[in-house]
Structure 1
Amino acid sequence: MAWIMLVLAGALEAVWAIALGRSAGFTRPLPTVIFVVALIASMGGLGYALRSIPVGTGYAVWVGIGAALTTVAGMTVLGEPVNLPRVISLLLVVAGVVGLKVFH
Structure 2
Amino acid sequence: MRQQTIAWLILAASVAAEVLGTLALRHAAGFTLLLPSLAAAACYAAAIWWMALAVRHLEIGLTYAVWAGSATALTAIAGIIWFGEAATALRITGLLMVVGGVVALNLSAHSG
- Where structure 2 has 5 or more consecutive residues not aligned to the other structure, the ranges are 1-5
Structure 2 SS opposite 1:66: helix
Alpha-carbon offset, residue 99 of structure 1: 2.0
1:36 paired with 2:46, answer no
Alpha-carbon offset, residue 92 of structure 1: 0.9
1:66 paired with 2:89, answer no
Alpha-carbon offset, residue 101 of structure 1: 2.1
Displaced runs of 4 or more, over 3 A: none
Alpha-carbon offset, residue 46 of structure 1: 0.3
1:2 paired with 2:28, answer no
Mapped partners of 1:96, 1:12: distance in 2: 22
Q: Which has the higher contact order (CA 8 A, sep 6+)?
A: 1
2:89 maps to what in 1?
Answer: 84
RMSD over aligned CA atoms reads 1.1
Alpha-carbon offset, residue 57 of structure 1: 1.2
Alpha-carbon offset, residue 12 of structure 1: 1.4
Mapped partners of 2:9, 2:62: distance in 1: 14
TM, length-normalised to structure 2: 0.86
Mapped partners of 1:103, 1:2: distance in 2: 18
Alpha-carbon offset, residue 21 of structure 1: 2.2
- Within a 5 Å distance, the mapping from 1:6-25 to structure 2 comes to 6-25=11-30
2:105 maps to what in 1?
Answer: 100
Does the Cα contact within 8 Å between 1:12 and 1:66 map onto a contact in 2? no
Mapped partners of 1:61, 1:42: distance in 2: 13
Number of residue pairs matched?
A: 104
Q: Which of the two has higher C-alpha Rg?
A: 2
2:3 maps to what in 1?
Answer: none
TM, length-normalised to structure 1: 0.92
Mapped partners of 2:27, 2:106: distance in 1: 32
